[in-house]
């Protein structure tokens, strides 16, 4: 039994989680900290006596700390260590001596103040090999006294000084767990002795490096003592500084956090980064985009003096850029327009100026401004109101927001009085078009429909939006309005005109892609985390989150306003929690007060408050998911840090990078790479980040499932006739004849099963999930104490985040889940500063249950299947993790979560399985990579999921009882009905051939995003094999497998247990026949 390339190069999942060696195809560059570069000499330098005495201190510390390391969860505080060391040395242990050791070995010695609660250990000290008892009562972990849930609340007095050495010893493996992550075992005496010896050797190396690097006219002792002063810890509670001030910086200078206008330039900041002791050539690539001058032009005909005055007074705009003029001129000529230019190029002016022109010509004019998020609509509404207020004669124009948060009692007034409505496609679909009779005043006078962030609409959601737009145009025409102009704005995408045509269904489109806006200089860094200690590679690499938060703290201290993008919500909260701890330990409470996290799930009030804080300039840092990826104006941002390659791919990557420097200032974008294969691919090929074209945005106008849903809605808005084919295309006739109701006069009406409100049966974003309310009950039972709702969590997330005993993180603050009620959909949490996080122990099976259709694969005896798929998720326990190591495993008894959907699947033939096993290949790796290869060649893959292989299971140290069939399976997310799986099934032959050809021709060695890796793989593409994928694809296509291909696998092997079994046939419905090609 063996694993293939990816496991060996990427390591186990545990390695990935701990940030250990990344799967790089070339040896990563590492660099010694300045002043510590090893110099090889034949004779070792002669040590001054001072260093011999320092070695005695180090050895004593080493012995004591090694002993502590051999005891599970031993709290290593400086007072405890000092007492033990002094008993060995018979002399006092001074802070300065420890600081000198820290200066010599900065990546090995941990010496800092830590919140007292971070040293708390689990109340249940017994860890057995069988099932564990339930956690002790929650009261054991609650903070004494009233606990606060306020954002950025810090108790500066509750800190202790911690002294520890970084420990790379894993100890003995426990044979009973069979887990990729194992509980930290006690070190054996031999292992403890080896650990002590290795650390002593490292100290000697460090001293030799210092002596060799010290110029002849300098005293190494004086240099070390000077450097040590920077490492003497400062208690966070002492000498708290006034607002705007920060603690002494790295050079010992007291400084105030600079105002935005006086911050150092980005070039100066990067130069300073490269001078830091912790900089070890993390910058794998640096590209500079020089500043660009703006190109202005004149409108023909020119705008009125009142509009010019409004732009000047409200925005300080005295001239228009070239792309703005081109778009406004095209609209005045009766054309539809799409503007696809860079972020912050003034695209909103393109539809705001024509709106003012329409209103000046006809005060009855109306407009829809459509945005993908409520935050973006809120932001743009405020800007338009200010513009209208500054325009003489238009001050009275009413602007309103009409979305799901709009109270019912206000909606009638908005319909009757508003001239401009900020809304979204959900409301047009479900609230406006179904009641078109109440909206006729507005629709008759509709002059402009502006859709911002058009690149957001693609895949199944975009396909629904395209049909909503066609329904809107049809209703407008029916009330006598064929004069509406359509304008859209987008980030830079390929084929913007075609994308707009697909969405709006209109012709006569003017593409504007030449950007005339000025742009400040932008530095782009690809940042690859270094080894924790270059002299000891066994310690592994520094975790990407550690690097990202350290870089963020460095930038904020210099007045650089920064946003840190995280891929998922949990990473966002963990990063915020890390920033809290690090800024507190550094004594930088002035900065901590100006940092917040922002993500989906927060209440509307919290989101608006954070947006206001950011826009006002009060915030120095924001930790966010892609909720802020779109163009919400959150004020001046100088820098963007991306923690890992975004799941949205290159388009999302460039959108995030564009959030910095939005007002023509110099800016910085940093991509901090994870150790995952996708990230490391771009570390090794950074040119692709800048030069590779993004994929086309696809809209499925031929989906009968989506089209029928909207025809049912359209038939309710007004009966359909054959003439409506101009809106809905040639497939309309067949669907109307077979799925709608035809009256005697030939009109088509909604089928009764959709009545009385068809739009309620059609969710354009997929079925809305049930949500659990997370309620903070910490203050319940105390004077004035009430329960408060922290946020709402979707069912699909709640299962993994709010089980009893879980640590729930909100704004970087930790809460313990005390009680979960599945009947009331409520989770009660209490504020508690625990020093661990929790990770669910779960699995999800994706199983084909019934076959509806079978299709021939051309030239192959194999078949493709389509039918009913069951998803089964079970959370059977959770791990408690501290510093990415398991400190306890707890069992849970939770009900399984079952849901059904549709999907397609391909069974790997037994002959291919036998061949792979005979050649020492791992079938799970081959199947996983083949699934990604298939999806990478399917245009609508964004709305299709697959069963990703989990490294903890596939590389388990013990045999797994959960065997999975040798099957490539793809399914639609439950709640979404777009017909994507059936489309993949219908085109399976073309997709398989494309996938095979791409994998076979790809020049990469072990897989990349062009062939077998996927940015959306939730398991990080760790379980993967490019060669295995090619064998699976050849077997499915019935093509011969070259012997040379089998020899491409490395000969090194590692024992793993097979987790894949032959796929059995799935019961078919009666009468199913094989469909020929």
846 within 8 A of 833, measured Cβ to Cβ: no
Distance of CA 352 to the CA centre of its chain: 32
Structure tokens at 232: 């003497």
Q: Percent of the chain having pLDDT more than 70?
A: 83
**Is the pLDDT higher at 1020 or at 673?**
673
Give the mean pLDDT of 150-173.
53
Give the mean pLDDT of 518-535.
88
State the pLDDT at residue 145. 35
In this prediction, residue 1036 has a pLDDT band, given cuts at 50, 70 and 90, of very high
For 74-145, where are the alpha helices, taking DSSP H only?
Answer: 78-89, 95-104
State the pLDDT at residue 310. 94
CA angle centred on 247, ends 246 and 253, rounded to 5°: 105
Evaluate if residue 740 carries a pLDDT over 90: yes
306 within 8 A of 387, measured Cβ to Cβ: no
Cα–Cα distance list, 938 to 678, 970, 985, 989 (Å): 19, 11, 11, 11
* Conformation bin of residue 334: beta by default, left when phi > 0, alpha when psi is -120 to 50: left
For 438-453, give the secondary structure using H, E and C: HHHHHHHCEEEEEECC
Burial category of 888 from C-beta neighbours within 10 Å (exposed 0-12, middle 13-18, buried 19 and up): buried
Evaluate if residue 4 carries a pLDDT over 60: no
279 within 8 A of 269, measured Cβ to Cβ: no
For residue 354, which of 421, 447, 446 has the smallest C-alpha distance? 447
Evaluate if residue 731 carries a pLDDT over 90: yes
Highest mean pLDDT, choosing among 417-421, 628-632, 799-803? 417-421
**Furthest C-alpha separation in the chain:** 108
Distance of CA 122 to the CA centre of its chain: 31
In this prediction, residue 158 has a pLDDT band, given cuts at 50, 70 and 90, of low
Give the mean pLDDT of 131-145.
34
State the pLDDT at residue 169. 42
pLDDT digits (tens, 9 = 90+) for 648-678: 788 888 888 887 876 668 999 999 999 888 8
Pairing of strands 667-672, 639-643: parallel
Angstrom distance (rounded) from CA 1056 to CA 325 = 64
For 744-793, give the secondary structure using H, E and C: CCCCEECCHHHCCCHHHHCCCCCCCCCEEEEEECCCCCCCCCCCEEEEEE
Of 201-205, 353-357, 446-450, 768-772, the one with minimum mean pLDDT is 768-772
For residue 815, which of 828, 798, 832 has the smallest C-alpha distance? 832
Angstrom distance (rounded) from CA 469 to CA 479 = 16
Rounded to 5 degrees, what are φ and ψ at 160?
-130, 155
pLDDT digits (tens, 9 = 90+) for 12-24: 333 333 333 333 3
pLDDT digits (tens, 9 = 90+) for 596-626: 888 777 777 777 777 777 767 788 999 988 7
Give the mean pLDDT of 134-159.
38
In this prediction, residue 107 has a pLDDT band, given cuts at 50, 70 and 90, of confident
Give the mean pLDDT of 910-938.
92
435 within 8 A of 414, measured Cβ to Cβ: no
Give the mean pLDDT of 22-27.
36
Give the mean pLDDT of 254-266.
80
Structure tokens at 209: 């490096």
Highest mean pLDDT, choosing among 132-141, 259-268, 632-641, 985-994? 985-994
Q: What is the pTM of this model?
A: 0.73
Give the mean pLDDT of 450-462.
89
Give the mean pLDDT of 857-880.
93
pLDDT digits (tens, 9 = 90+) for 543-565: 899 999 999 999 999 999 999 99
Torsion of CA 551, 556, 560, 562, to 10 degrees: 70
pLDDT digits (tens, 9 = 90+) for 221-243: 999 988 888 888 877 665 444 43
User: Which residue pairs, CB below 8 angstroms and at least 24 apart, start in 396-402?
Assistant: 397/359, 397/363, 401/377, 402/427, 402/431, 402/432
In this prediction, residue 479 has a pLDDT band, given cuts at 50, 70 and 90, of very high
Give the mean pLDDT of 257-268.
88
State the pLDDT at residue 71. 55
Give the mean pLDDT of 37-57.
76
Of 40-49, 195-204, 403-412, 911-920, the one with minimum mean pLDDT is 40-49
* Conformation bin of residue 508: beta by default, left when phi > 0, alpha when psi is -120 to 50: left
State the pLDDT at residue 1005. 84
Angstrom distance (rounded) from CA 271 to CA 634 = 27
169 within 8 A of 125, measured Cβ to Cβ: no
Give the mean pLDDT of 494-503.
93
State the pLDDT at residue 74. 52
Listing DSSP states for 912-958 in one string gives HHHHHHHTT--HHHHHHHHHHHHHHT-TTGGG-EE-PPPHHHHT-SS
Sign of CA dihedral 605, 606, 610, 616: positive
Of 360-369, 498-507, 595-604, 846-855, the one with minimum mean pLDDT is 595-604
Q: Percent of the chain having pLDDT more than 90?
A: 43
The mean predicted confidence, pLDDT, of the chain is: 82
Angstrom distance (rounded) from CA 866 to CA 857 = 13
Angstrom distance (rounded) from CA 697 to CA 176 = 50
Listing DSSP states for 868-904 in one string gives EEEEEEEEEEEEEEETTEEEEEEE-----EEEEEEEE
Question: For the stretch 60-79, what's the b/e string if a residue is b when 16 or more beta carbons lie within 10 angstroms of its beta carbon?
Answer: bbbbbbbebbbeeeebbbbe
State the pLDDT at residue 1046. 67
Angstrom distance (rounded) from CA 429 to CA 413 = 20
Of 112-121, 523-532, 617-626, 958-967, the one with minimum mean pLDDT is 112-121
Evaluate if residue 1003 carries a pLDDT over 70: yes
Of 67-71, 455-459, 777-781, the one with minimum mean pLDDT is 67-71
Of 18-27, 270-279, 811-820, the one with minimum mean pLDDT is 18-27
Burial category of 972 from C-beta neighbours within 10 Å (exposed 0-12, middle 13-18, buried 19 and up): buried
Tell me the three state secondary structure of residue 1052.
coil
Angstrom distance (rounded) from CA 1056 to CA 1050 = 16
State the pLDDT at residue 250. 43
Evaluate if residue 826 carries a pLDDT over 50: yes
463 within 8 A of 700, measured Cβ to Cβ: yes
Angstrom distance (rounded) from CA 474 to CA 677 = 48
88 within 8 A of 56, measured Cβ to Cβ: no
Give the mean pLDDT of 858-873.
94
State the pLDDT at residue 254. 33
Distance of CA 457 to the CA centre of its chain: 19
**Is the pLDDT higher at 623 or at 538?**
623
Structure tokens at 101: 């050791």
Give the mean pLDDT of 692-714.
88
Cα–Cα distance list, 733 to 372, 464, 583, 868, 990 (Å): 32, 19, 65, 29, 28
Evaluate if residue 502 carries a pLDDT over 60: yes
Structure tokens at 335: 């054309």
State the pLDDT at residue 7. 38
Highest mean pLDDT, choosing among 110-114, 179-183, 749-753? 749-753
Cα–Cα distance list, 650 to 297, 1004, 1021 (Å): 32, 19, 17
């Amino acid at each position: 039994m063996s694993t293939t390339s990816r496991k060996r190069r990427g390591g186990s999942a545990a390695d990935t989680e701990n940030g250990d060696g990344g799967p790089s195809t070339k040896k990563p560059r590492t660099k010694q900290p300045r002043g510590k570069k090893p110099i090889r000499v034949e004779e070792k330098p002669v040590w001054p006596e001072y260093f011999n005495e320092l070695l005695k201190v180090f050895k004593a510390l080493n012995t004591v700390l090694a002993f502590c390391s051999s005891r599970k969860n031993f709290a290593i505080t400086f007072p405890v260590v000092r007492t033990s060391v002094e008993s060995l040395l018979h002399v006092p242990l001074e802070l300065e001596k420890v600081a000198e050791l820290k200066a010599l070995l900065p990546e090995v010695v941990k010496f800092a103040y830590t919140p007292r609660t971070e040293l708390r250990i689990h109340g249940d000290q017994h860890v057995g090999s069988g099932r564990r008892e339930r956690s002790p009562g929650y009261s054991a972990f609650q903070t004494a006294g009233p606990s606060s849930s306020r954002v950025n609340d810090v108790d500066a007095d509750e800190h202790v000084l911690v002294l520890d050495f970084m420990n790379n010893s894993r100890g003995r493996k426990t044979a009973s767990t069979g887990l990729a992550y194992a509980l930290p075992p006690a070190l054996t005496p031999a292992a403890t002795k080896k650990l002590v010896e290795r650390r002593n050797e490292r100290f000697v190396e460090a001293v030799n490096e210092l002596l060799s690097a010290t110029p002849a006219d300098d005293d190494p002792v004086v240099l070390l003592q000077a450097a040590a002063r920077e490492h003497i810890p400062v208690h966070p509670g002492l000498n708290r500084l006034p607002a705007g001030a920060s603690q002494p910086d790295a050079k010992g200078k007291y400084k105030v956090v600079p105002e935005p206008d006086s911050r150092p330039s980005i070039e100066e900041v990067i130069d300073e980064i490269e001078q830091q002791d912790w900089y070890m050539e993390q910058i794998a690539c640096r590209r500079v985009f020089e500043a660009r001058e703006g190109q202005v032009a004149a409108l023909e005909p020119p705008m009125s003096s009142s509009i010019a005055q409004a732009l000047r007074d409200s925005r300080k705009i005295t001239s228009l850029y070239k792309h703005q003029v081109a778009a406004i001129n095209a609209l005045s000529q009766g054309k539809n327009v799409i503007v696809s230019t860079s972020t912050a190029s003034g695209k909103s002016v393109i539809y705001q100026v024509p709106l003012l022109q329409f209103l000046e010509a006809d005060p009855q004019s109306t407009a829809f401004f459509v945005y993908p998020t409520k935050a973006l609509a809120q932001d743009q509404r405020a800007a338009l109101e200010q513009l209208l207020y500054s325009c003489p004669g238009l001050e009275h124009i009413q602007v309103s927001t009409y979305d799901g948060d709009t109270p019912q009692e206000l909606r009638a007034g908005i319909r009757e009085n508003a001239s401009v409505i900020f809304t979204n496609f959900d409301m047009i679909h479900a609230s406006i078009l179904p009641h078109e009779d109440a909206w006729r005043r507005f629709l008759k006078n509709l002059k402009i429909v502006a859709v911002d962030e058009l690149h957001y609409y693609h895949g199944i959601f975009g396909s629904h939006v395209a049909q909503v737009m066609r329904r809107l145009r049809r209703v407008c025409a029916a009330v006598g309005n064929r004069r509406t102009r359509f304008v859209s704005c987008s980030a830079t995408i390929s084929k913007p005109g075609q994308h707009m045509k697909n969405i709006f269904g209109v012709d006569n489109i003017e593409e504007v892609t030449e950007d005339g806006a000025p742009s400040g200089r932008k530095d782009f860094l690809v940042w690859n985390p270094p080894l924790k200690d270059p002299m000891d590679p066994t310690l592994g690499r520094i975790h990407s989150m550690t690097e990202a938060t350290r870089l963020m703290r460095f930038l904020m201290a210099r007045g650089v306003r920064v946003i840190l993008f995280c891929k998922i919500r949990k990473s966002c909260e963990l990063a915020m929690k890390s920033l809290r701890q690090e800024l507190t330990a550094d004594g930088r409470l002035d900065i901590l007060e100006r940092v917040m996290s922002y993500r989906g799930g927060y209440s509307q009030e919290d989101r608006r408050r954070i947006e206001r804080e950011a826009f006002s300039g009060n915030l120095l840092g924001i930790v966010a998911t892609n909720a802020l990826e779109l163009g919400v104006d959150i004020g001046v941002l100088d820098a963007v840090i991306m923690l890992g390659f975004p799941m949205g791919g290159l388009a999302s990557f460039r959108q995030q990078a564009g959030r910095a420097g939005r007002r023509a200032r110099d800016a910085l974008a940093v991509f901090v790479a994870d150790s995952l294969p996708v990230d490391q691919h771009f570390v090794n090929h950074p040119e692709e980040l800048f030069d590779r074209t993004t994929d086309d945005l696809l809209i499925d106008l031929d989906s009968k499932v989506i089209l029928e849903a909207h025809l049912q809605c359209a038939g309710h808005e007004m009966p359909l006739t054959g003439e409506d084919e101009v809106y809905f295309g040639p497939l309309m006739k067949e669907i109307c004849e077979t799925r709608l109701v035809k009256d005697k006069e030939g009109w088509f009406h909604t089928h009764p099963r959709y009545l009385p409100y068809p739009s309620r049966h059609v969710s354009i974003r997929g079925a809305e999930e049930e949500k659990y309310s997370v309620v903070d009950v910490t203050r319940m039972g105390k004077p004035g104490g009430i329960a408060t709702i922290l946020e709402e969590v979707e069912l699909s997330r709640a299962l993994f985040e709010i089980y009893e005993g879980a640590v729930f993180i909100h704004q970087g603050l930790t809460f313990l889940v005390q009680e979960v009620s599945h009947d009331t959909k409520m989770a009660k949490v209490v504020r508690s500063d625990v020093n661990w996080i929790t990770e669910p122990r779960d699995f999800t099976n994706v199983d084909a249950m019934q076959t509806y259709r079978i299709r021939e694969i051309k030239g192959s005896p194999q078949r493709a299947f389509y039918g009913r798929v069951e998803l089964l998720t079970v959370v059977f326990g959770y791990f408690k993790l501290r510093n990415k190591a398991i400190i306890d495993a707890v069992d849970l008894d939770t009900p399984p979560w079952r849901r059904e959907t549709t999907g397609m699947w391909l069974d790997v033939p037994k002959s291919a399985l036998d061949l792979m096993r005979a050649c020492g290949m791992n079938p799970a790796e081959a199947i996983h990579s083949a699934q990604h290869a298939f999806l990478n060649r399917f245009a609508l893959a964004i709305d299709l999921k697959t069963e990703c292989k989990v490294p903890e299971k596939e590389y388990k140290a013990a045999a797994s009882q959960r065997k999975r069939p040798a099957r490539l399976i793809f399914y639609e997310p439950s709640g979404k009905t777009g017909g994507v799986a059936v489309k993949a099934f219908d085109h399976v032959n073309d997709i398989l051939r494309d996938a095979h050809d791409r994998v076979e021709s790809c020049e990469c060695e072990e897989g990349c995003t062009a062939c077998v890796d996927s940015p959306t793989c939730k398991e990080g593409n760790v379980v993967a094999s490019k060669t295995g994928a090619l064998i699976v694809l050849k077997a499915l296509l019935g093509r011969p497998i070259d012997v040379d291909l089998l020899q491409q696998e490395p000969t090194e092997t590692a024992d793993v247990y097979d987790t894949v079994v032959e796929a059995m046939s799935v019961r078919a419905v009666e009468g199913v026949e094989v469909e020929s090609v």
